[in-house]
């Protein structure tokens, strides 16, 4: 299934076309939840959500503003450390604003519940969350996610922003690393 030599150990879980179509639906749903003159501020979580944000806002036919926050919840591998560290804070405040957190994937839920807690403390008017992917079978904490692109099984996925040891973020599709040929960590 792989279409590039260097990702020969990947199988495709979601094609670029499936992702594109689902994001168009999500964009309509999110944009439609706020009045045309209401403020809508999207906060993307780096690095994984950068492509999702870019594709989401390009199909939103309304004014939006964006900001970025970076957190680190994993080491280089695929296991959650359970610890979340803020690496980059937002540029602007959130008081009185309609804020939507844009995240790549909710796995244990630890990262999102931490993010929601610190962003809620900044007094937004509303705070919702959009995740491209959700792995509900792995949840450790109950966390509210209003918009979910795809619910997936417990696979470690890469591509479309998601990485394994910082690689694969540039794949246009979402794949699962298969076989015993998982590349060694640098």
Q: Is 7 a catalytic residue?
A: no
- Taking CB under 5 A as the binding criterion, the range among 29-37, 46-54, 119-127, 149-157 that sits at the site for Mg ion is 46-54
Q: 3-class SS at 105?
A: strand
Query: Minimal CA–CA distance to 52: which of 26, 29, 72?
Result: 26
Dihedral of the alpha carbons of 139, 142, 145, 151, in degrees to the nearest 10: 30
Select 26 or 115, whichever has its Cβ closest to ligand IMP: 115
Shortest distance, position 185 Cβ to ligand IMP, whole Å: 14
d(CA 143, CA 114): 10
Select 48 or 124, whichever has its Cβ closest to Mg ion: 48
**One residue of 23, 30, 107, 149 binding ligand IMP per CB under 6 A:** 107
162 touches ligand IMP by CB under 6 A: yes
| Paired tokens of 158 | 């890469």
8 Å CB contact between 5 and 131: no
**One residue of 48, 109, 159, 175 binding Mg ion per CB under 5 A:** 48
Give me the active site residues, please. 107
């Amino acid at each position: 299934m792989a279409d590039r030599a260097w990702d020969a150990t990947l199988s495709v879980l979601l094609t670029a076309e499936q992702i594109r179509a689902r994001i168009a639906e999500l964009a309509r749903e999110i944009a439609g939840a706020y009045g045309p003159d209401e403020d809508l501020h999207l906060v993307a979580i780096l690095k994984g959500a950068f492509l999702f944000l870019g594709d989401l806002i390009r199909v939103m036919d309304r004014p939006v503003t964006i900001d970025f926050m970076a957190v680190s919840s994993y080491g280089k591998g695929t296991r959650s450390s359970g610890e979340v560290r803020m690496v980059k804070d937002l540029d602007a405040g959130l008081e009185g604003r309609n804020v939507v957190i844009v995240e790549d994937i909710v796995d244990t839920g630890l990262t999102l519940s931490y993010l929601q807690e610190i962003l809620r403390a900044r007094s937004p008017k509303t705070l919702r969350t959009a995740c491209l992917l959700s792995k509900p079978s792995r949840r450790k904490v109950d966390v509210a996610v209003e918009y979910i692109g795809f619910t997936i099984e417990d696979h470690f996925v890469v591509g479309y922003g998601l990485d394994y040891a910082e690689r694969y973020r540039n794949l246009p599709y979402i794949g699962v690393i298969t076989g015993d040929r998982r590349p060694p960590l640098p």
